[in-house]
Structure 1
Amino acid sequence: MSLGNVSGKIIHQFVIGGFDTLDRPLTVGIVILCIYLLVMLSNLANICFILHDKRLHKPMYLLICNLAVVDMLYSSSACPTMIGVLVAGDKAIAYVSCFIQMFVFHLGGVMEMFAISVMAFDRLIAISNPLRYQSILTNVRTLVLTGALWLVACAFVAVMPATVLSLPYCHSTLKYTFCDYAALVRATCVNPMNTVLVLHVPFVFIVLSYVCILLALFRITSWEGLVKALKTCLSHLLRVALFFLPFISTYIAAVTFSLHPNARIICLSLASAIPLMLNPVIYVLNTEGNRGFLKKMVKQNTSSIIPVN
């Protein structure tokens, strides 16, 4: 990529203009605020459940904790900016802050896929090698694997700000709802070749994992064993569907039905926030350890409120 004689202007801050055509920004902002608070509180509660009960200190629950941390990071990267624009009317974001937000947002997105992928690997081992599961995937190996994924994700995402940081900018208004790679590229005076590859590898890995799981299910002869195996994958399958289907549906609807810009903005905002809010609900209600902890807490609170005669 050659910049030639292209020159831009000095940018000290950007203006978020993606919501300028929205009819009821305050209403949308309050909805996003409520969803954001639920995301943070529910994921924090999920982490507390697991840390509180030592019986849940197992690889699967460590991966659930990691997913909760990723969800909180992913949600916090963009939601506060959107809430500030819609509720407080503060559209300005500092130059450095915009790049930090871009890095954190894409780090959360990459780690979301990595976290789902490693959880698919966990389910694959649980189904195909149930007797060796505890020896293959220990707590230490789970933590090392998770840490390695964070390092890989950071290295991968670091390419994004590096490709646009030195480019000249012709526009200070971003026609997006927050700072991400596409928004900053569109604000430059050039059209750089996107050297950042679309991350299809995790999705392919998830699909291949479930192909292997499906083959393992065919080898189960008893009905009870089959039902038990399917239940171990239910939470993760719901999580995969929640992550990929909203975005795929939104883009298909945008192409097929020519969605109004306002409808597209709302759909994309909700598609990135609602799955993060439902994650803790899925894993709490579909995990025996979490259900037992919740029943115990409810029973203790009920007995403390209702006096015993």
Structure 2
Amino acid sequence: MNQTISSVLRIASFDIHPSAVYPIFIMGLLVYCFSVLSNVTILALIVTQRSLHRPMFYILFSLPLNDLIGITAMFPRLLLDIVIMKNTVNYPLCVLQAFLLHMYGGGIPFILAAMAFDRYIAICKPLRYNSILSPFGVTAVISLAWGVNFALILVLFLLQARATKCRDFIMNVFCDNFSLLSLSCGKDLTINNIYGLSITAFMHITTVTIQLFSYIQILVTCIMNKQSDTKSKALNTCLAQIIVFILFEIVGLFTILSYRFPNITPNARKACGMLIFLILPVLNPIIYGMKTKDIRTAFFRILKKGKISSSK
């Protein structure tokens, strides 16, 4: 017989030796603080530096913002659980965490597709760039990337909410749609599974197609155009995006494979599930800081001004 789920859920935890709890907490806190600081720095540069007030960087603004949503939704609660070892979570907060994490995961490919489209227009259709990516055009691209992702994830969670809950144990160290569905019983979840697989396929196929088309067209343009400055521009503006895209695919594949090998320890499997919410928010600002000349220049300009001001 089904019963109503408690408002407080038990949640899986890492098996950590007591002597390692605080070192792991401190290391995790430093990683989180670095990610927040570096992503906020990118956001602040785009907002405050007039040299970055261009369509490319308006679209790029979404990436560190999305990274902050992902790592903040997952990491602080996990670090708190490691220290206090309470390993419980309120059901509404669990649903909120799951929704934000899915928004983050779905947002990455859509944002990368929007950024690839921007580079395609800039390099392949430079004379039409300002007319296509006008303020209205940029707003439309950004709204489409966030809006489609939000609508797809919202429907996913509305379908999940209709299921009767009779269990109170979250099988992962963080809440996600699969863990919430595992609380259900006595109801056919076929439509949930079909919809989940469908939106995953739609997101992946659509965004990868846009990126492949954009980068192939950019490559063709570089080959046809013998001017070295055009090739250099293409390389400098696309390299960071391509690195992030490849990194996203590798981390996603590695996470999926970790669930297919039975010999992996429970701790390792849980850690692999966290990778996509941890590695990209930490590495993305480093990649864009190193590979995007305009961001690097703006950052060092501010540092130089700070040194001059402090020396007076």
Shared fold (TM-score, shorter chain, > 0.5): yes
Can you give the 5+ residue segments of structure 2 that lack an aligned partner in the other structure?
Answer: none
Which of 6, 11, 15 is residue 6 of structure 2 equivalent to? 11
Say which SS state the counterpart of residue 182 (structure 2) adopts. helix
Say which SS state the counterpart of residue 226 (structure 2) adopts. coil
Which of 183, 189, 192 is residue 189 of structure 2 equivalent to? 192
Matches within 5 A, 1:1-309: 7-17=2-12, 19-23=13-17, 24=20, 26-190=22-186, 192-193=189-190, 194=193, 195-196=195-196, 197=198, 198=200, 199-200=203-204, 201-252=206-257, 255=260, 258-306=263-311
Provide the TM-score with structure 2 as the length reference: 0.87
Say which SS state the counterpart of residue 187 (structure 1) adopts. coil
Provide the TM-score with structure 1 as the length reference: 0.88
How far is the alpha carbon of 1:230 from its aligned partner?
A: 1.6
How far is the alpha carbon of 1:258 from its aligned partner?
A: 3.6
Letter in 1 for 2:164: P
Greater Cα offset, 204-213 or 153-162: 204-213
> In 2 relative to 1, CA 90–113 (structure 1 residues): closer, same or farther, beyond 3 Å?
farther
Does the CA-based 8 Å contact 2:66-2:108 persist in structure 1? yes
Say which SS state the counterpart of residue 14 (structure 1) adopts. strand
Distance in 1, matches of 2:185 and 2:262, equals 32
Does the CA-based 8 Å contact 1:124-1:209 persist in structure 2? yes
RMSD between superposed Cα atoms in Å: 2.3
How far is the alpha carbon of 1:61 from its aligned partner?
A: 0.7
Does the CA-based 8 Å contact 1:75-1:273 persist in structure 2? yes
Letter in 2 for 1:192: L
Can you give the 5+ residue segments of structure 1 that lack an aligned partner in the other structure?
Answer: 1-5
Greater Cα offset, 199-208 or 250-259: 250-259
Distance in 1, matches of 2:179 and 2:280, equals 23
Matched residue count:
301
Letter in 2 for 1:10: I
How far is the alpha carbon of 1:118 from its aligned partner?
A: 0.3
How far is the alpha carbon of 1:27 from its aligned partner?
A: 4.2
Letter in 2 for 1:237: I
Letter in 2 for 1:46: I
How far is the alpha carbon of 1:48 from its aligned partner?
A: 1.0
> In 2 relative to 1, CA 223–148 (structure 1 residues): closer, same or farther, beyond 3 Å?
closer
Distance in 2, matches of 1:94 and 1:206, equals 39
How far is the alpha carbon of 1:241 from its aligned partner?
A: 1.9
Does the CA-based 8 Å contact 1:103-1:161 persist in structure 2? yes
Greater Cα offset, 233-242 or 212-221: 212-221
Letter in 1 for 2:207: P
Does the CA-based 8 Å contact 1:29-1:82 persist in structure 2? no
How far is the alpha carbon of 1:46 from its aligned partner?
A: 0.9
Letter in 2 for 1:66: S
Say which SS state the counterpart of residue 28 (structure 2) adopts. helix
Distance in 2, matches of 1:111 and 1:87, equals 30
Does the CA-based 8 Å contact 2:51-2:298 persist in structure 1? no
Distance in 2, matches of 1:111 and 1:250, equals 18
How far is the alpha carbon of 1:14 from its aligned partner?
A: 1.1
> In 2 relative to 1, CA 25–124 (structure 1 residues): closer, same or farther, beyond 3 Å?
farther
Does the CA-based 8 Å contact 2:14-2:267 persist in structure 1? no
How far is the alpha carbon of 1:25 from its aligned partner?
A: 5.0
